Chains A and B, each alone.
Chain A
Amino acid sequence: NAGVTQTPKFQVLKTGQSMTLQCAQDMNHNSMYWYRQDPGMGLRLIYYSASEGTTDKGEVPNGYNVSRLNKREFSLRLESAAPSQTSVYFCASSEARDNSPLHFGNGTRLTVT
């Protein structure tokens, strides 16, 4: 039982390059989330998926796209990376009910030069 698995752990991109961050959970959770974490700013929600087949924008969606491939997998795509997207990206999952705790992966550290 691995919980939430994110790949890759580290990535360096040049400005304008694209990449997809992968996330998979094995807890049969309906809801999945992508957050970014920057020093002094806490975790900010990029996108979330309340259930398979649905996605919604969070607080900072610009420059990102997501795909809920199936119940297990939720990917985050940067089409044209910018230095402002240098951050640590966390994927999380939870059960569908409102007060469910989030289960986080260990993050992808992305640097855009």
Chain B
Amino acid sequence: SQKIEQNSEALNIQEGKTATLTCNYTNYSPAYLQWYRQDPGRGPVFLLLIRENEKEKRKERLKVTFDTTLKQSLFHITASQPADSATYLCALDTGRRALTFGSGTRLQVQP
């Protein structure tokens, strides 16, 4: 069956360290992948998009990689801050004309 997996356990890191979140998928061949941030009680907010022919994308302290052989995307936040604490969702184009989302990983950055 088709699946998008994100680590359901919260990731706790110290301020200033790099946070790395993982998104794995099976049985899809997405043309692109997107990452969103969601704060409690709010809707998801778009962060980055990476296409299948791009290995890496950067935006300020954020970096996303996309390995279509491993069927995996990694989302990195460098020099993390307590304000980065949130749930991060990956979303794939699954050919349905609408995105399919993973269940998200909660990041907690300790001061």
Chain A positions near chain B (C-beta within 8 angstroms) = 4, 33, 35, 40-45, 48, 50, 56, 58-59, 90, 92, 98-99, 101-107
Contact = CB atoms under 8 A, between A and B. Distances in A.
A45 B42 contact: no
A99 B93 contact: yes
Interface string B28-59: 00011010100001111110010100000000
B58 to A, nearest CB: 17
Interface of B: 4, 8, 31-32, 34, 36, 41-46, 49, 51, 89, 91, 93, 96-104
Contact of B51 (A4, A35, A56, A99): A99
B30 to A, nearest CB: 10
B101 A42 contact: yes
Given A58-B98, A90-B44, 14 more contacts: A4-B43, A42-B89, A42-B102, A42-B104, A44-B101, A45-B99, A50-B97, A98-B31, A102-B36, A102-B46, A102-B91, A103-B46, A105-B43, A107-B42
Contacts of B43: 4, 90, 92, 104-107
A59 B44 CA distance: 19
Contacts of B91: 43, 102
A101 B43 CA distance: 13
A88 to B, nearest CB: 9
Contacts of B101: 35, 42-44
Contacts of A107: 41-43
A102 B31 contact: no
A42 B5 CA distance: 10
B49 A99 contact: yes
